Amino acid sequence: DQQVKQNSPSLSVQEGRISILNCDYTNSMFDYFLWYKKYPAEGPTFLISISSIKDKNEDGRFTVFLNKSAKHLSLHIVPSQPGDSAVYFCAASATTSGSARQLTFGSGTQLTVLP
């Protein structure tokens, strides 16, 4: 049972345009969400995160939107650049007793930004 789903395995966007990557989750206990970018032969790189008490968080060209009622989040990249071409993972975490924090990942979306 996939608790975090990224239904689009791939996305192609023209340089300078907006890239929108989507993620859905099923576990109502998730209260923190993160996006990671991964280049081949490297580990995932943390991009941006959002707590469930917010519906938007912005950092430079990256904005994450959270719709709790729909259990949906999206990552917007504006403007898209060729260097943004990578696999993007959505991840979620649930606050539990104690301080341990387990991340549950989606299967990723390959973004290709065309020059």
**Applying CB under 8 A, which residues contact other proteins?**
4, 6, 32, 34, 36, 41-46, 49, 89, 91, 93, 96, 98-108
Q: How far is the CB of 104 from other proteins (least distance, A)?
A: 7
Report how far residue 15's alpha carbon sits from residue 19's, in angstroms, rounded to the nearest whole number: 9
**Residue 68 exposure: Cα atoms within 13 Å on the Cβ side:** 12
Phi, psi of 73 (to 5 degrees): -135, 155
| Closer by beta carbon to other proteins, 69 or else 99 | 99
Choose between 52 and 72: whose C-beta lies nearer to other proteins.
Answer: 52
CA 54/CA 32 separation, integer angstroms: 10
Give min distance, CB of 23 to other proteins, in A.
Answer: 11
> 108 and 86 in contact (C-beta within 8 Å)?
no
Residue nearer to other proteins on the CB measure, 20 or 103: 103
